[in-house]
Amino acid sequence: MAFRRLADADAKGKTALVRVDFNVPMADGKVTDDTRLKAALPTIRALSWKGAKVVLLAHFDRPKGKRVPEMSLKPIVAPLAKLWGQPVAFADDCVGPEAEAAIKALPEGGVILLENTRYHAGEEKNDPALAKQIAALGDIYVNDAFSAAHRAHVTTEGLAHLLPAYAGLAMEKELDALEAALGKPKRPVLGIVGGSKVSTKLDLLKNLVGKLDRLAIGGGMANTFLFAQGHEIGASYAEKDMADTAREIIAAAGKSNCELLLPIDIVVAEVMQPGAASRVRGLGQVDEHERILDAGPETVARLAKAMDSSATLIWNGPLGVFEMPPFDKGTVAAAKHAAGLAKAGRIIAVAGGGDTVAALNHAGVTNDFTFISTAGGAFLEWMEGKDLPGVAALEG
C-alpha cells in the first residue's frame, strides 16, 4: 500500500496540523478511557522532537455544527498533558484569530489542541472554504485517525489536498497491519466473522469469500446459514428472510474455492441469561423451545485446526453470546488458541470491531494478537473492500 509516511515529512520548524481521534469516553466531564490519547503520543513525540509546532485537530460527539459546551475538547487537555509530560495549550476554536494567535505563541516543539472541529457545520460537509481556513494555520498535514478515515470530512480528507499530507504513526501501523491481513497476505488466509446479523455484514461476507481461503461464520448469523441449509434451529435468533442470500454466499464461496466453515455442533439453552443450564447439540437436534447461543466444542476444535494450518487470521465478531457465561466458552477458547499461535509467531492474527475487541479483552488475549484495530466503522468498511477517503488522500 503506497501512502506517504511521517518519516518522509520535512517537519523541522514547520507547523503540523495533526488529525487525531480524541472522541473518547467521558463521564462527568472527565476522560474515563485514555487509550486514544496514548495512541496519539508517538506521532506527537516524533513531530515535537523534529521541532515542529504540533496542532491537534479532533472532533467529539455530534454537535452538528453548533457550539455545545458538553462536547468541548477542553477536558482532554489536562489528561493529555499528563501523558505527554509537558504543557498542552488550548484554543477555543479551530479557525480564526484566536487559533492563529495561540499557534503563533506556541514554541517550536510545542503542542496545542484546537476546539471541536464539528462545531463548524462545514467540517462534515467537507466544505472547501473551511478547509482553506484551517489549512492556512499550518504547513503540513498529518492524519493519525484511521477510525475516522471512512469519512470525507475537512479534517480527515479535505486538508490532504491543500497541504503536503502524511500518515501518522498510529495510522501507519494500522494500514501496514491491514495490508498484511488482506492486501498482500501470507496464505492460507482464514477469516472469522461473527455477530448477530447477516444483513449488517452482507458486503463484508461477499468481499471476503472472494479473498479468503477459509471463512468461519459464527454467532447469530450462523443460525441464519444453518436455517438456510434446512437445519432445525428451534427458538434461536435468525434472519429467516435472508435465507436466499445466505445460500448465494455459500454458492459464491464454492465458486471462489473459499472453504466455508459453519457450525457442526452448537450449545443451546432454553433461556438466554447468565448461568443458564446449557447442553451441546448436534445439527438438527435442537428442540423447538431451545436457542443456539454458542459454538459447540467440535466446531471450536475444527476452527483451531484451521488456524493451525493458516498463515494469516482476520477476525470480526464473536462466536456466541460471549457477554453471558457460559455462552462465552467458544469465543474464549478460539481466541486463546489464536493468541497462542500469534505469540509463537506461527500466524499473523488481526482483529477489529467493537464487539470483537470486547470479546478478546474478555478472553484476556489482546496483548498477544498481532494487531487489534479499535477503528470500528473504518475497519469494517476496509474489510468490505471499500475505498476509505482519508486513506486514499494519502496515497501516492
Break the chain into its structural domains and give their ranges. Answer: 6-172, 185-383
pLDDT score of 354: 77
pLDDT score of 376: 82
Instruction: Write out the H or E segment, with its range, that includes residue 250.
Output: helix 243-255
Cα dihedral 115, 120, 122, 126, rounded to 10, equals: 20
What does the alpha-carbon distance between residue 194 and residue 56 come to, in Å, rounded to a whole number?
36
Query: What does pLDDT average to over the chain?
Result: 96
336-360 pLDDT tens trace:
999 999 999 999 999 998 789 999 9
SS3 state at 271: coil
What does the alpha-carbon distance between residue 374 and residue 146 come to, in Å, rounded to a whole number?
9
From the options 3.30.565.10, 3.40.50.720, 3.40.50.1260, 3.20.20.70, give the CATH code of 6-172: 3.40.50.1260
How many percent of the chain have pLDDT more than 70? 99
Q: Would the pTM count as exceeding 0.85?
A: yes
Give residues with Cβ within 8 angstroms of 319, minimum separation 6: 192, 194, 218, 219, 294, 295, 299, 300, 330, 331, 334
C-beta separation of 324 from 273 below 8 A: yes
Nearest to 147 by CA among 8, 22, 21: 21
Catalytic residue (one of 65, 110, 376, 377): 377
Beta-ladder partners of 217: 193
C-beta separation of 265 from 222 below 8 A: no
36-77 pLDDT tens trace:
999 999 999 999 999 999 999 999 999 999 999 999 999 999
- pLDDT-based confidence at residue 98 (cuts at 50, 70, 90): very high
Q: Is 376 a catalytic residue?
A: no
pLDDT score of 287: 95
Beta-ladder partners of 267: 280, 294
Q: Is 354 a catalytic residue?
A: yes
Helix 35-49 vs helix 169-178: crossing angle, to nearest 10: 110
Catalytic residue (one of 5, 45, 74, 197): 197
Domains 6-172 and 185-383 share a fold: yes
Tell whether domain 185-383 is in CATH 3.40.50.10260: no
Catalytic residue (one of 4, 19, 36, 281): 36
- pLDDT-based confidence at residue 286 (cuts at 50, 70, 90): very high
- pLDDT-based confidence at residue 374 (cuts at 50, 70, 90): confident
Q: Is 377 a catalytic residue?
A: yes
Q: Is 45 a catalytic residue?
A: no
